[in-house]
Amino acid sequence: MNRKKQKSRIGRDWWKYLAAVFILIIYLLPVYVVVVMSLKPVTDHTSRLFLPAEVYLGNYLKVFKNSNMLGAMKNSLIITAGTVAIVVIAGCLAAYPMARRKDRLGKAVKIFILGVMMVPGMSMVVGVYATLVSIHAISTYRGIIFVSAAFGLPFSIYMYSNFIAAIPDTLDEAAAIDGADVLTIFFKIILPQLKPVTACVLLMQGVSTWNEYGYSLYVLQKPNMYNVTLTVKQFFGEQIKDLNGAAACAAVAIIPVVIIYLFLQKYFVKGAIDSAVKG
């Protein structure tokens, strides 16, 4: 009987499965094209949707021979790790008092943070660049890390505040009665419950920073400071346009992100859903 009901439900919801497959194809098609192109020689002019007749690894050898891909991945790793550390630590610390304030000031701060999230980051490039020049932070790790962290903090605070707001205030009050101060309450009671949303923030901010291009183009001006996105750009110039080499470079660049997602996907989905529902 249960199988009949299940089949009946699947029959009614067939369009949902069709829509899911369609969305999945849209998201996976660019990745498929990149991988296929990376395995074809420049002389192969067949459609980018067709698999290569023979696997060609020369593009990958070209990536590591003609570009500083390993150095770029090291730079991206340092920048991403520094940015994520600031966003996670500062975000959860700032979100805790904001989530516990139920008055107008707390709501006003939350609305302000939402407003900041709506502002396009590149609209402030002139002011940000001038500031970085004045503090001698161009082509430095700290310059791009501070910029990436500044633009990532509003989202982090918003996610953390929604999650913390759903944690009962009675836990804080009980700990306070036992003599715990604010920092003890946060680190001993609140922080251990933030694993799902922390994984969500870590992954989303990490991917955003790893793939960052706009500000990297202005801040990371020295070739030895290039990240992975700027390294991919080197395959395009006035006299050269190596799509296959760029595809191989992009394929290498996305491997770390995919690996991290596979390890954090369970916490990422749970944190995203909980933060959205609790908000």
Cβ atoms of 196 and 254 closer than 8 Å: no
pLDDT at 273: 57
Higher pLDDT, 16 or 247: 247
- Distance between terminal CA atoms of the chain? 39
Strand partners for 236:
241
Q: Does residue 35 sit within a domain?
A: no
- Residue 42 in any domain: the answer is no
For residue range 196-213, what is the model confidence (pLDDT) as tens digits? 888 889 888 998 999 999
Residue 13 lies in a domain: no
Measure the CA–CA gap between 238 and 245, rounded to whole angstroms.
16
7 part of a folded domain: no
64 found inside a domain: no
Task: Quote the pLDDT of residue 129.
Answer: 93
CATH number at residue 178: 1.10.3720.10
**How many domains, the chain?**
1
Strand partners, 103: none
Instruction: Give the residue from 243, 261, 263, 262 showing the smallest Cα distance to 251.
Output: 243
Q: What is the pLDDT of residues 35-46, one digit of tens each?
A: 999 999 888 878
Q: Which residues contact 200 (CB under 8 A, 6 or more apart)?
A: 159, 267, 268, 270, 271, 272, 275
Question: What is the residue range of 112's domain?
Answer: 71-231+259-278
Nearest Cα neighbor of 79 from 68, 91, 67, 87 is: 87
Q: Is 113 part of any domain?
A: yes
